[in-house]
Amino acid sequence: MLKNFQYYLFIFNLCFFSCTIEKKEFDNPVDFKANDELGVEAPTIVFYPLTQTKTMQDSVILESHLVFKEDSMEQFSGVHLQINFPESILELDTVIAGIFITDSNKSVPLFNYSYNGENEIDVFAYFLDTLKRNIEGTGEIARIFFKSRALGVDSIHYNLEQCELINSNDEIIKLNGKRSAEIIIE
């Protein structure tokens, strides 16, 4: 009987003390609860993924998302985003329109971006549908591709003072928050 008890105690200790419970970190750009915990209130602009680690050979790809909550949903027809990135570790490759604004069920966008040659990107998207003058919803506005330039850790962020949403009457819709992204090049 003592032998059985020791055997079960050994198995219990082996199972109980050898198991590690992993803490999973989920990163969803439209996770309202996580954004609220970070003090990011809707409507907001966020980068996805929140953090990424790359090597010198890897491309860094970021998605820029516009996020509304159901109670903060507003129709809009134009977006201007100003994005600052660390030129010491990243080099801009290209910017393309995101899935949300190119979906064929939505309005046809006019999409363009400008780059100041250093560390600032301005993204512009305007919806020019003849029947529907505004769209509403949450989704990816732009996808930004970078090349690694050097080893380091830094953040990519929005200049919220220069970012704006407008409706078809050229009225500004206030953005309440932003979420930056951390880039690690090793």
Q: Please check whether residue 105 lies inside any domain of the structure.
A: yes
Q: Residue 130's domain is classified under what CATH number?
A: 2.60.40.680
Query: Quick check: 2 pLDDT over 60?
Result: no
Q: Please check whether residue 6 lies inside any domain of the structure.
A: no
Q: Please check whether residue 70 lies inside any domain of the structure.
A: yes
The average confidence (pLDDT) of the chain is 82
**What is the residue type of 55?**
T
Count of structural domains, the chain: 1
Q: Please check whether residue 21 lies inside any domain of the structure.
A: no
Q: Please check whether residue 53 lies inside any domain of the structure.
A: yes
- For residue 70, the enclosing domain spans 27-185
Using CB atoms within 10 Å of the CB of residue 7, give its burial: 0 to 12 exposed, 13 to 18 middle, 19+ buried. Answer: exposed
**Residue range 77-100, pLDDT digits in tens:** 889 999 999 999 999 999 999 888
177-179 and 44-48 strand pairing = parallel
Please state, in angstroms and rounded to a whole number, the distance separating the CA atoms of residues 109 and 124: 10
Q: Please check whether residue 116 lies inside any domain of the structure.
A: yes
Using CB atoms within 10 Å of the CB of residue 2, give its burial: 0 to 12 exposed, 13 to 18 middle, 19+ buried. Answer: exposed
For the record, the structure tokens of 43 come out as 């409507």
| pTM of the predicted model over 0.85 | no
3-state secondary structure of 16: helix
**Residue range 157-173, pLDDT digits in tens:** 999 999 999 988 889 99
Q: Please check whether residue 14 lies inside any domain of the structure.
A: no
Q: Please check whether residue 19 lies inside any domain of the structure.
A: no
